[in-house]
């Protein structure tokens, strides 16, 4: 059976920038990847002549091009306004619905606890994705979705990118070029600063690679939620 993962991002180019190498490795290893893009990235420009509507449409086009390069099977656009994401009922039900219908084993998103994360959407989407994971497994969250024929779904593995605490590394030495090629499809964002961006990404992949013991890597914080009741023990109760 093929494995399935869902990547939840705030902006059209987040996947390629933060985890494009690892996702490409997963696809090579027979994973099906579904991508949720919450906003159209319709404020991502310095160009004062550009309209939000035109930028949104260009960026959807760029996203589809990049998804094709990486080999992502499905892309969901939630069409929220750039910069305005909130992890509340304006966003969570839509993500929950997709998790219940796609039924992935692995959820990949931003680490919302990263220190000094300046982009509000990057904080909010991480919380929204994790909260939607919980909602997806409990029937009293958004019960109308179950009446529509969807089932509860439990995701046991979470990988958080853009994290201060990476403890799970993917060797991207063979897919780094593909990551760059896919990121470059987001022309509206990176074309004018491509050389700097490329060298920043190379530097970061080398830094993660040094931690992982390979040439180039992407790092994640991994959370695994075991089956059954979780027993929480405090340090003084352990007896070891």
Q: Which of 6, 14, 166, 172 binds Zn ion (CB under 5 A)?
A: 14
Minimum distance, C-beta of residue 97 to Zn ion, in the bound complex (Å) = 22
Q: What tokens were used for 185?
A: 């499809």
Decide whether 60 or 100 has the Cβ nearer to Zn ion: 60
Burial pattern 97-115, b for ≥16 Cβ within 10 A else e, equals bbbbbbbbebbbbbbbebe
SS3 217: strand
Q: What tokens were used for 91?
A: 């966003």
Asked if residue 131 binds Zn ion (CB under 5 A), the reply is no
Decide whether 19 or 107 has the Cβ nearer to Zn ion: 19
Decide whether 10 or 150 has the Cβ nearer to Zn ion: 10
Minimum distance, C-beta of residue 31 to Zn ion, in the bound complex (Å) = 23
Minimum distance, C-beta of residue 10 to Zn ion, in the bound complex (Å) = 5
Minimum distance, C-beta of residue 78 to Zn ion, in the bound complex (Å) = 14
Which residues 6+ apart lie within 8 Å of 175 measured at CB?
20, 21, 22, 24, 25, 28
Applying CB under 5 A, the span of 6-14, 20-28, 62-70, 182-190 interacting with Zn ion comes to 6-14
β-pairing, 74-80 vs 3-9, is: unpaired
Computed over its alpha carbons, how large is the radius of gyration of the chain? 18
Applying CB under 5 A, the span of 2-10, 31-39, 208-216, 228-236 interacting with Zn ion comes to 2-10
Task: Indicate the residue whose CB is closest to Zn ion.
Answer: 11
The number of beta carbons lying within 10 Å of the beta carbon of residue 180 is 18
Q: Which of 6, 7, 11, 127 binds Zn ion (CB under 5 A)?
A: 11
Return left, alpha or beta for 205; rule: phi > 0 is left, psi -120 to 50 is alpha, else beta.
Answer: alpha
Residues that bind Zn ion (CB under 5 A): 10-11, 14
């Amino acid at each position: 059976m093929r494995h399935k993962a869902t990547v939840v991002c705030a902006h059209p180019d987040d996947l390629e920038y933060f985890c494009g190498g690892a996702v490409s490795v997963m696809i090579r290893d027979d994973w099906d990847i579904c991508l949720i893009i919450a906003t159209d990235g319709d404020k991502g420009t310095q160009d004062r002549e550009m309209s939000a509507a035109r930028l949104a449409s260009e960026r959807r086009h760029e996203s589809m091009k990049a998804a094709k390069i990486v080999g992502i099977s499905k892309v969901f656009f939630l069409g929220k306004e750039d910069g305005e994401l909130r992890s509340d009922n304006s966003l969570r039900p839509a993500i929950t619905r997709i998790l219940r219908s796609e039924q992935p084993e692995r959820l990949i998103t931003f680490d919302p606890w990263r220190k000094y994360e300046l982009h509000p959407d990057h904080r909010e989407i991480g919380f929204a994705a994790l909260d939607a994971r919980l909602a997806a497994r409990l029937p009293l969250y958004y019960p109308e979705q179950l009446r529509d024929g969807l089932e509860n779904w439990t995701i046991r593995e979470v990988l958080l990118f853009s994290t201060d605490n990476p403890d799970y590394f993917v060797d991207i030495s063979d897919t780094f070029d593909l990551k760059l090629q896919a990121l470059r499809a987001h022309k509206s964002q990176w074309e004018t600063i491509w050389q700097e961006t490329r060298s920043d990404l190379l530097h970061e992949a080398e830094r993660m690679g040094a931690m992982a013991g390979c040439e180039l890597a992407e790092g994640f914080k991994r959370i695994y939620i075991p089956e059954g009741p979780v027993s929480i023990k405090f340090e003084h109760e352990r007896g070891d």
